[in-house]
Amino acid sequence: MAGCGFTAARPGSHNGCMHLLRLAALLICGFLWAESALAVEITHEGITFSDEGGGDEGSGFTLLSVSGRGSLDDPYVIVEDVTGPRQAILTIRGLKRVGNRIGTHHIAGIAVTKIVFNRSEGVWQNYQLELREILTRHSPYEDGLSFAQNTVIAGAFTASSFPNLQRFDEPQDTLGFSGKSVPPGESAQFSFLITDMSPVERFYLFQEPLQPVSYLENPGEIQQGALPIEPQAHSRRPSTFAR
pLDDT digits (tens, 9 = 90+) for 164-179: 999 987 778 999 999 9
Regarding beta strands 187-196 and 159-160, do their DSSP bridges make them parallel or antiparallel, or are they unpaired?
antiparallel
Condensed to tens digits (0 to 9), the pLDDT of residues 26-68 reads 555 444 443 444 789 999 999 999 998 764 444 588 999 999 9
Task: Please write the tens of the pLDDT for every residue from 76-119.
Answer: 999 999 988 778 899 999 999 999 999 999 999 999 999 999 99
The reported pLDDT for the residue numbered 211 is 65
Alpha-carbon span 237 to 239, nearest angstrom: 7
Note if the bond before 75 is cis, omega within 30 degrees.
Answer: no
Residues paired with 164 in a beta bridge: 178
In this predicted model, what pLDDT tens digit does every residue of 116-161 receive, in sequence order? 999 999 999 999 999 999 988 888 767 889 999 889 999 999 999 9
Contact 84, 55 (CB under 8 A): yes
pTM of the model: 0.73
Return the closest-CA partner of residue 113 out of 176, 67, 174.
Answer: 67
Mean pLDDT of 200-210: 92
pLDDT for 179: 95
